[in-house]
Structure 1
Amino acid sequence: MGTLGEPSGLDRDWPAGVADGTADADGTGLATLLFVALAPCTRAHHRALGIPPEVTRSTLADLGRQLAVSRWRGRAGLGNPRWLTLHFRGELFQLGRLQFQRRRLTGADAAAARAAGIGEWSLQLHIPDHCGPLSPGACDRALDRARAFFPRHFPGERYRSAFVFSWLLDPQLSHYLPEGSNIVRFQRRFAPLVRPGGPPAPEDTNPLRYVFGDVGRPLESLPRDTVVQRALLDHLRAGGHWYVRGGWLAL
């Protein structure tokens, strides 16, 4: 799982069956137990850095949220244990509505950052499930907390920007959603951040997984209760595709 406190990204060396969640498929919860066992070490690491207990609690609570998301998607245990290594290794913190991951950019992300004039140290934003509306006020508060949090607890890492790669930044959404919707207003916070290598490939299952949970069902059987649900489905049924797009903002 990497070194505690070191910003090194998602691990690629988990044992087979644990990294992809199949070890949890029978309900034994092996990955879940590993994180529960690691939690005291993470809490001690946070205390040593002076991180407030409420930040520790809200960050590690993502374990329970991810279990709930897996159940919503029709499976037992954790569907993506690698994701939670960021939380328990002290690399990601939840500050209100948003999560912030400490990153020293490399590879394609570093090339995109250089083209945009961003330094190699940048905070990667994540938008967790089950944490309320993505309202402008909630995002403002989270960003304000991040501006104070990281210089205080990680003074050797100079974060002057934050970036995100998400289907929520696909500009096609603005063709379907109201002008004042939370998603459209969230998009407008960011300047484009483009990875090298040409146009991105379609990622239609990405928004479907986050909005509907089960991506194996026919589009005709999925609910159309919200504006976002109708937008995703209407666009796909008309022959369109959805894309993960990047954006950045100055801190």
Structure 2
Amino acid sequence: MLPDADDLPEILLDLAVPHEDINELVALHRLLTRDFGAMRLLEECVEGLVRDMGEIGGATPWPAERIAELFTGQAEGRADQEPGALGRYFAVYVFVAALPYVRAHHHALGIPPEVSRRTLADLGRNMALHRRRHGRGGVETMWWLALHFHGELFQLGRLQFQRARVGQRAAELLAATGPAPDADAMCLSLHIPDFHGPLSPAACDRSLALALDFFARHFPAERYTAGVCHSWLLDTQLKRYLEADSHIVRFQERFRIAVDEVESADSQPVRFVFGNPDLPVAGLPRRTTVERAVGDHLRAGGHWYIGHGWFPLTTV
């Protein structure tokens, strides 16, 4: 199921895995393949990931507790220990083992190799985020990457687009903006990856144009009625701190926005702007306009919320 250790570096590089992680992943390959329990769990994870490939919501939930138990020795009462290197990197081996299935699925749909490559390269981006936050190798959010490796999400220019349904909770929130798509409506959920340059209006326009063509071409049976986004970037309080022509404000203006102020989401902008949601608010840097906006608002006793936005898609 796993490629040989000698073949692993090139595969990892194709997935944009950071160079500083390559040698450790190759070295741990032998340890993993000699561990019967770990290999059995890997096979189960791969089977769950590729089952019903491409079906929205079809991937089996990521077994985080079982992975933690296997690699931290919880069965022996050492639940306070953090996972070792193999536990932190385990998801990488799962995604590598699933790669042939993902590529075959993309090929059957006629998806260009460059779209596949840029989509799956989010593994490397995710690992870079993990190292920035923790100072060591690993995967930051395994469940998130399952969308990429299950054929539900694609990178098209600056933005990522996830095939989805609006869902009941989102439909209730979006209804506050006026007539909005219902819970069962198909939509493209927009995501903004890190380490990908400015969120400029031109880059977003290009991404949306690419998406309209891509999904009409490769998923002709699906009819998406809306583009949606659920993000702290859509918290309209940001307009108090940012210029009207700033990229974030211009991005907000694409959407009809409802802000859910029931539960604050202060850790979200701290995570995405500063790289670590656990940083003390008092010491947050003030180097950029966005850093000052996020930190100063929190230090003044304010809170940030998730904005829920949508706009109609009439040509997909």
Q: Please report the TM-score for the alignment, with normalisation by the length of structure 2.
A: 0.73
CA distance, structure 2, for counterparts of residue 13 and residue 99 of structure 1: 21
Partner of 1:64: 124
Residues 206-247 of structure 1: per-residue CA shift (max 9 Å, x gap):
100111112323223222111000111110111100001110
Q: 1:6: which partner in 2?
A: 55
SS at the partner of 2:56?
Answer: coil
Within the alignment, does 1:232 sit opposite 2:297 as a pair?
no
Matches of 2:65 and 2:179, distance apart in 1: 38
In 2, the alpha carbon distance for the partners of 1:116 and 1:32 equals 43
CA contact 1:200–1:244 (8 Å) conserved in 2: no
Deviations 1:89-120 (A, max 9, x none): 00000000000000123331244456643251
Which is bigger in relative contact order (C-alpha 8 A, separation at least 6)? 1
Shift of 1:156: 1.1
Deviation at 1:15, TM superposition (A): 4.5
Q: What is the DSSP-based 3-state SS (H/G/I as helix, E as strand, rest coil) of the residue aligned with 2:304? A: coil
Distance 1:18 1:242 in 2: 33
SS at match of 1:5: coil
- Tell whether the 8 Å contact from 1:25 to 1:76 is kept in structure 2 after alignment: no
1:16 maps to a residue whose letter is: E
Q: Which residue matches 1:79?
A: 140
Unaligned runs of 5+ in 2: 1-48, 73-81
Identity of aligned residues (%): 51
Q: After superposition, where does 1:91-102 map in structure 2 within 5 Å?
A: 91-102=152-163
Q: Deviations over 1:27-84 (max 9, x none)?
A: 2211111001111111111010000111100000000000000101115311210000
Distance 1:79 1:191, change over 3 A: same
Whole-angstrom distance in 1 between the partners of 2:187 and 2:203: 21
Instruction: Indicate conservation of the 8 Å contact 2:54/2:151, yes or no.
Output: yes
Q: Distance in 2 between matches of 1:51 and 1:129?
A: 24
Q: 1:249 and 1:18 mapped to 2: Cα distance? A: 39
Verify the 8 A CA contact 1:211 1:229 in the aligned structure 2: yes
Letter in 1 for 2:85: G
Number of aligned residue pairs: 247
- TM-score for the superposition, normalised by structure 1: 0.91
- On the 8 A contact 2:170/2:308 being kept in 1, the answer is no
Whichever residue aligns with residue 289 of structure 2, its letter is V
| Inter-partner Cα distance in structure 2 for 1:136 and 1:10 | 33
What residue number does 2:10 align with? none
Determine the C-alpha separation between the residues in 1 that align with 2:204 and 2:271.
23
Residues 190, 67 of structure 1: CA spacing in aligned structure 2 closer, same or farther, 3 A cutoff? Answer: same
Structure 1 stretch 58-67 or stretch 70-79: which is displaced more?
A: 70-79
Q: Is the 8 A contact 1:166 1:244 kept in 2?
A: yes
Bigger fraction of residues in helix: 2
* Cα distance, 1:250 vs structure 2: 1.6
Deviations 1:133-163 (A, max 9, x none): 0000000000001111111111111012110
User: Cα 1:130–1:18, aligned 2, differ >3 Å: closer, same or farther?
Assistant: farther
